[in-house]
């Protein structure tokens, strides 16, 4: 049921899950080092995790980094993400600071996607979604539950809410405590994709226990999986080369 999105040179929601690599450098120099490594890899999307960047509160420096990423990876879609501390991010930020950063980034014209957390204050979230649409930036509405794996129904409801508020992609990551939790996540993914989704969805179970979901999630309806090249941005991320081998095994197209 879910539809696909064409972004630059890739189609999200069609065929093999697309591979996204996060950039988590603290400085421009570290980010440039990561970009040089990424340039030699077969990847589909880049996510800049700006909550790792030491100067993220300086919009001029943020813009400089985005220009550098765009210059070096001209054809790759770029996701901008500031993950809040409440959802496992690397830095505490006030709601006003989050909103100002996002509005500034949306207006740079340098990104393709912006990741907006589902459970930030609703009016701020909705303003950011509207601003992104006005500026032709696609939105990933996300939720990261580091405490638990919610029920199948709760996972589906969060993905449906992300869709209902106007997200272009709905994303959820959960923390499993046993193999059954991973099955819950995959079952919710399949039901959402087959029954309710009108947009691409991204789902994963985190930590070592959830690694399976990062490799076979696409069989259940997840459109993107995340891999690490140097440093990972979340527990359970698989190295890019290992992930590519596993994806080639599970997906023939």
Task: Catalogue the active-site residues.
Answer: 144, 171
State yes or no: 237 annotated in a binding site: yes
> DSSP characters for the chain?
----EEETTEEETSSSPEEEEEE--SSHHHHHHHHHHHTTS--SEEEEEGGG-TTTT-HHHHHHHHHHHHHHSTTS-EEEE--BGGGT-SB---HHHHHHHHHHHHTTS--SEEEEETTS-HHHHHHHHHHHHHTT-EEEEEEEESS----HHHHHHHHHHHHHTT-SEEEEEE--SSHHHHHHHHHHHHHIIIII-SS-EEEEE-TGGGHHHHHHHHHHTB-EEEEESSS-SSTTPEEHHHHHHHHHHH---
Nearest to 30 by CA among 57, 69, 1: 69
State yes or no: 223 annotated in a binding site: no
State yes or no: 41 annotated in a binding site: no
| Distance of alpha carbon 132 from the chain centroid | 16
State yes or no: 47 annotated in a binding site: yes
Tokens 């210059």 locate to: 71
State yes or no: 49 annotated in a binding site: yes
d(CA 217, CA 237) in angstroms, rounded, equals: 13
Which residue ranges make up the annotated binding site for 3-dehydroquinate?
47-49, 83, 214, 233, 237
Binding site, annotated residues: 47-49, 83, 214, 233, 237
């Amino acid at each position: 049921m879910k539809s696909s999105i064409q972004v630059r040179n890739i189609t999200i929601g069609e065929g093999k899950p697309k591979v996204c690599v996060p950039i988590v450098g603290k400085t421009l120099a570290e980010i440039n080092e990561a970009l040089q490594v990424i340039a030699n890899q077969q990847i589909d999307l880049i996510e800049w995790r700006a909550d790792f960047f030491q100067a993220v509160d300086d919009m001029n420096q943020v813009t400089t980094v985005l220009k550098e990423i765009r210059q070096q990876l001209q054809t790759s879609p770029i996701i901008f993400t500031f993950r809040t501390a409440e959802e496992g991010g690397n830095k505490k930020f006030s709601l006003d600071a989050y909103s100002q950063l996002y509005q500034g980034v949306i207006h740079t014209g340098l990104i393709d996607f912006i990741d907006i957390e589902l459970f930030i204050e609703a009016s701020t979230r909705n303003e950011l979604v509207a601003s992104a649409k006005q500026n032709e930036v696609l939105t990933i509405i996300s939720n990261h539950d580091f405490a638990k794996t919610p029920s199948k129904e709760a996972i589906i409801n969060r993905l449906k809410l992300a869709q209902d508020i106007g997200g272009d992609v709905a994303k959820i990551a959960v923390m499993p405590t046993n193999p059954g939790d991973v099955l819950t996540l995959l079952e919710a993914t399949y039901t959402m994709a087959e029954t309710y989704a009108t947009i691409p969805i991204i789902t994963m179970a985190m930590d070592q226990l959830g690694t399976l979901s990062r490799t076979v999630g696409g069989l259940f309806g997840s459109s993107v999986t995340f891999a690490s090249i140097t440093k990972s941005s979340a527990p359970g991320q698989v190295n890019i080369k290992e992930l590519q081998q596993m994806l080639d095994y599970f997906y023939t197209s």
